[in-house]
Amino acid sequence: MRNGLKYLLFVTATVIFSLDLAVAASPQMQDTSRHLYDRVMEEFKHKDYEAALAGFRFFLELHGQSSLAANAQYWTGECHYRLGHYKEALKSFYDVVSYYPLSPKLAASSLKIGQTYTKMKDHEKARMMYERVIDQYPDSSEAEIARKALEATAIRNEPTTSSTDVTEER
């Protein structure tokens, strides 16, 4: 019984010590994650989407719980989108919406879902996503882009009438 108590105290002390180390290492971990994120963003800015995609995936493996994880997930989707990997892009953008409900990338991810459906020629799902962006983020720049996309779709879908198509009602 006495050994059990010693073991319990040892485990408790170890856990507390570990938590202290985790808290103490936190700023360094944030610096490391920020440095890696910034480095991968440079690849993206230089249009090396394959390298950026690999970098964002690596970032998410190492720092999946960091404050930059939602952004990295979004940019993973952007890399896929720009490479023409639309199904993978959809998954990445939906992951932002599903797993990061407080992310500042929600409006952008929702818009990109609509744009990706447009690229995939699924105009009904695209329209629904554009409408969702307008409803949920009405004053955002993403809502403005969604409105323009809906207007462009409406113009393309308008039936053309010619004098032979018009019937006279009397």
In a domain, 75, yes or no: yes
In a domain, 43, yes or no: yes
Residue 145: which domain range?
Answer: 38-156
Please tell me the distance from the alpha carbon of residue 126 to that of residue 149, in angstroms, as a whole number. 9
In a domain, 16, yes or no: no
In a domain, 18, yes or no: no
> How much is the pLDDT for 27?
63
Which amino acid is it at 8?
L
In a domain, 163, yes or no: no
In a domain, 136, yes or no: yes
Token pair recorded at residue 136? 């949920």
In a domain, 21, yes or no: no
In a domain, 125, yes or no: yes
- Total domains present in the chain: 1
Residues of the chain falling short of pLDDT 70: 1-29, 155-170
Going by C-alpha positions, the residue among 95, 87, 92 that lies closest to residue 119 is 87
- Percent helix, percent strand, percent coil in the chain, to nearest 5: 80, 0, 20
CATH number of the domain within which 75 lies: 1.25.40.10
Going by C-alpha positions, the residue among 29, 33, 92, 40 that lies closest to residue 68 is 33
Task: Say if residues 102 and 125 touch (Cβ distance below 8 Å).
Answer: no
**What single DSSP character describes residue 103?**
-
pTM for this prediction: 0.75
